[in-house]
Structure 1
Amino acid sequence: MTSTTPGAGTTPGGAGGAGTPGVGDGAGATPGVTSTAAGVGDGADWWATGISDIAPGVIRFRGYAIEELIGEVSFAQMVWLMTRGELPSAGEARLLELTLVAAVDHGPQAPSIAAARMAASCGLALNNAMATGVNLLGDVHGGAGQQCLQVLYDLGASGQEPAELVAEYKERKAFIPGFGHRFHPRDPRRDPLIGAAQQAVAEGIISGRYVELALALESALAPIPMNIDGATATIYAELGFPVPLARGLFVLSRSVGILAHAYEQSQEPTRIKGPLPKGVLPTYTGTPPRNLT
């Protein structure tokens, strides 16, 4: 199918980046430096951004002063504002928050968590250990939500029957991202997320178009159930998030778990904790012992 995803490959709100040169986060006031909005000063457009407007004594995000946002908006609302440019409704923010809570951790059996813990055991600072874990998140580990969101958008745009798409994947012996789980026979995060989405449909918060498509895919794939990636992708589709942001939101959520595990490991006395317990050697599959002469 040809991709017709709204906003695919782009992030709403223009280019990201810092504010006016010379006024950094925590930097002292710089005489003569004005807001990027004013477009004054040498290099003022170097990191032009529609996200943050920073000047001495002024911090605005998408036009809102930080002093008005603090205490008035939730973190989920702030995430929406920063990535989408506007504040969500209370119902939309609630759905986004559910996805962020659901994806926060999956224990040390997740490579990103294990890597962060290994890094912490090697004495790396928390930010370095977190970066180690986050950098393991990609197409294979951590990318299924983004991939499923693309499938849902393409399916909605093409008008193809979900059962036909499932048949195509089966013919190719391929897996539809967002369904089935290597660890859980039925992902315990699926039901509360889809249940909340269905309730939001009943309340008129979202249309239900992508909820219907996701459930139709699940029905055609039975007995393979939807997993967290499929459930969060369904909600992101209903909320209109561009495809690339699905992975970013997953990484944002999982970073909390990575932080917690890295910190826990940093408080333990064990140093240089490798991928295998002490005394366990990896299986050697190479050439048997032999002599050089």
Structure 2
Amino acid sequence: MTDQEATPKEGRRLSTREAAELLGVKPETVYAYVSRGQISSRRGPGSRGSTFDAKEVESLARKNRREPAATSASGSSELSVRTRITLIDKDRYYYRGVDATELSLKHSYEEVAEWLWTGVMRPGIHFTALEETAGAARRAVDALPEHSGPTDRLRVAAIAAAAADPLRFDLSEEAVIGTARTLIPTLVTALPPASRAHRDEGPLARRLWSRLSGRQPQEASLHALDTALALLVDHDLAASTLAVRVAASARAHPYAAVSAGLGVLEGPLHGAASGLAHRMLLDVLDRGSAAPVVADELRAGRRVPGLGHRLYPGDDPRAQALFAILETIPKAGPALAAARGVVATTARHTDLHANVDLALAVLTASSGMPAEAGETIFAVARTAGWIAHALEEYEERPLRMRPSGQYVGLRPPQAMPRRDESAQTRRRLGSPL
């Protein structure tokens, strides 16, 4: 009997591949379900593979969709998403299996982004914004209040770019990658220039520099910025990346998916963390010592910015790579010394290592950039990774990123709530509630 055949008395039987697709798991996981007794399998005469009862598999699939996420040994609920983009392994991380720090040191941000999207290295590629779309994004950003933050500007630019693109709902791989190649330079072009000599051509790092610093860049400084962008392209399922995948799961177009990521990135525990480290380094330089600055942070009940990472018990490889470049730039010397002072001071009591936020703070503080520049660099860099994750999610079953809530409120039936008489009186009199 073949995988699809069944006697008149039997229900339909599925092959291993069909069962895996229905359950949304790998084929080997199907056999793990068999070993745990959750489904049964049978190998028919002359059949090379096992077959599975369709009703049993469908029942297990429904049960899996209803059950909350698995709980780890530490008691935290963890969501696992299959991805081919980034692997984090001990003290290293890899883009599509290639060492990410080596790739970032040898290739431009745009080349690394292209590698992430397509698996093909295209030396010398430069992303170019469409003038009509870039103009719409610039006008929208220019209309914002002066005190608007960098992520505010990028989010508005992404929305304006989406509104100017009638083809934004095309979710084919070719169309999404085409959108990415124009969206990223559009985000940069929409930012207010920091220098009259700003440029909208050449490598993206050069264009971004003129939006962040009024200084004329040296080649070493541009290399540091370009490397920082490439190092930050992706880092597995960070909070903003998960938001992007949820949006893509609902089949939001790539502009909307990027907007979802930008909405999460702005938090002080994510994309804005380097700004805190930047201000701390300036404080160290002003006071001449890291000790009183670290003491003030701890006295205020705050974590010392730029230290430690939950995925790296030792050194953050991104920080190591960026520090190595910054050491070749004389103007970065004072900020580097301040960062080393912070690390040495905290090392007296805790084994926390410098993370990429501290390295990014050294870059921005030594380049005449504002404290918020690190947030901008992070957001522009990570947009490429978000697009890569959106591309993966578009290939998955729609709306799969829909966990079930664990209701812990009052059990029904409950009595209907009584009307608040005082609120009713205020409403009748037209007073604010």
CA distance in 1, matches of 2:231, 2:325: 12
Q: Residue 318 of structure 2 aligns to which amino acid in structure 1?
A: R
Match of 2:25 in 1: none
How does the TM-score come out when normalised to structure 1?
A: 0.69
Alpha carbons 2:212, 2:369 under 8 Å: kept:
no
Matched pairs, number: 229
Deviation at 1:137, TM superposition (A): 1.0
Residues 50 and 191 of structure 1, relative CA distance in 2, 3 Å threshold: closer
CA distance in 2, matches of 1:87, 1:174: 36
Deviation at 1:271, TM superposition (A): 0.6
Alpha carbons 2:234, 2:385 under 8 Å: kept:
yes
CA distance in 1, matches of 2:221, 2:148: 21
CA distance in 2, matches of 1:275, 1:163: 47
Alpha carbons 1:144, 1:178 under 8 Å: kept:
yes
Match of 2:414 in 1: 292
1:270 aligns with 2:397: yes
Q: Residue 261 of structure 1 aligns to which amino acid in structure 2?
A: H
Deviation at 1:63, TM superposition (A): 5.3
Larger Rg: 2
Q: Residue 398 of structure 2 aligns to which amino acid in structure 1?
A: R
Query: Looking at both structures, which has the greater relative contact order when contacts are Cα pairs under 8 Å and sequence separation is at least 6?
Result: 1
Match of 1:188 in 2: 317
CA distance in 2, matches of 1:64, 1:170: 40
Structure 2 unaligned residues grouped into runs of 5+: 1-146, 150-155, 158-163, 166-190, 416-433
Matches within 5 A, 1:176-255: 176-186=304-314, 187-200=316-329, 204=330, 206-222=331-347, 223-255=351-383
Alpha carbons 1:10, 1:244 under 8 Å: kept:
no
Kindly provide the CA deviation profile for residues 93-133 of structure 1, in whole angstroms up to 9, marking residues without a partner as x.
Answer: 0111121112111112x111011111111111111111111
Residues 275 and 229 of structure 1, relative CA distance in 2, 3 Å threshold: farther
Alpha carbons 1:10, 1:242 under 8 Å: kept:
no
Match of 1:174 in 2: 302
Secondary structure, counterpart of 1:199 in structure 2: coil
CA distance in 2, matches of 1:135, 1:292: 37
Q: Residue 371 of structure 2 aligns to which amino acid in structure 1?
A: V
Alpha carbons 2:319, 2:354 under 8 Å: kept:
yes
Deviation at 1:51, TM superposition (A): 4.6
Identity over the aligned pairs, expressed in percent?
26
Q: Residue 231 of structure 2 aligns to which amino acid in structure 1?
A: A
Match of 1:114 in 2: 242
Alpha carbons 2:339, 2:358 under 8 Å: kept:
yes
Matches within 5 A, 1:1-293: 51=193, 62=196, 69=201, 73-85=202-214, 87-108=216-237, 110-138=238-266, 139-159=268-288, 161-186=289-314, 187-200=316-329, 204=330, 206-222=331-347, 223-266=351-394, 268-274=395-401, 276=403, 281-287=404-410, 289-292=411-414
CA distance in 2, matches of 1:257, 1:119: 14
Secondary structure, counterpart of 1:226 in structure 2: coil
Q: Residue 112 of structure 1 aligns to which amino acid in structure 2?
A: S
Alpha carbons 2:243, 2:260 under 8 Å: kept:
yes
CA distance in 1, matches of 2:373, 2:198: 22
Residues 246 and 216 of structure 1, relative CA distance in 2, 3 Å threshold: same
CA distance in 2, matches of 1:209, 1:269: 49
Structure 1 unaligned residues grouped into runs of 5+: 1-8, 12-16, 19-24, 27-48, 53-60
Secondary structure, counterpart of 1:115 in structure 2: helix
CA distance in 2, matches of 1:178, 1:50: 27
Alpha carbons 1:190, 1:227 under 8 Å: kept:
yes
Deviation at 1:228, TM superposition (A): 0.7
Secondary structure, counterpart of 1:189 in structure 2: helix
Match of 2:172 in 1: none
Kindly provide the CA deviation profile for residues 116-158 of structure 1, in whole angstroms up to 9, marking residues without a partner as x.
Answer: 1111111111111111111111123211111111111122123
Kindly provide the CA deviation profile for residues 220-274 of structure 1, in whole angstroms up to 9, marking residues without a partner as x.
Answer: 11221111111111111111211122211111111111111112212x1411122
CA distance in 1, matches of 2:255, 2:275: 25
Residues 184 and 207 of structure 1, relative CA distance in 2, 3 Å threshold: closer
CA distance in 2, matches of 1:119, 1:64: 34
Q: Residue 242 of structure 1 aligns to which amino acid in structure 2?
A: P
Runs of 4+ in 1 over 2 A off after TM superposition: 49-52, 61-66, 81-87, 167-173, 273-276, 281-287, 289-293
